Structure 1
Amino acid sequence: MSSLRTLDLNVVADLVDFIRGGGYVLDFSDSTFSEFFANELDVDIDDARYADRGGSKGKRLRRFLELVDDGTALKTLQALWEIRQDFLLRTGRADPVINAEARYLAILNRLGGSPAAASPQEQPKAAFDFAKMEMLKQELLDLTALAPQRRGYAFETYLQKLFTAYNLKPREPFRNTGEQIDGSFVMGEQTYLLEAKWQQLPTGQADLLIFEGKLMSKAAWARGLFVSYNGFTPEGLHAFGSGKRTICMSGEDMWEMLNRRLPFDHVIDRKQRRAAETGIPFVGVRDLF
Structure 2
Amino acid sequence: MPELKRSQIRAIEEAMGYPRGYGYVLDFSDRTLEEFFDEEFGVEIFASENKINGGSKRNCLTTFLVQADSHLALRVLRALWDRREGLLESAPSSEEAAAARTKSPAFQDVISSLQGDPAPLTTAGVEAFAKDRTLEELVADIERTLAANKPEVAIDHLHTYCMKKFAHLLEVRGETCEKDEPLHSRFGRYRKCLEAEQDLHEFTTRALKTFISLLDSFNDLRNNHSLAHDNQLLAPMEARFIFSSISSILVLLRALEAGRYGE
TM-score, with length taken from structure 2: 0.42
Of Structure 1 and Structure 2, which has the larger fraction of its residues in helix? Answer: 2
TM-score, with length taken from structure 1: 0.38
Of Structure 1 and Structure 2, which has the larger fraction of its residues in strand? Answer: 1
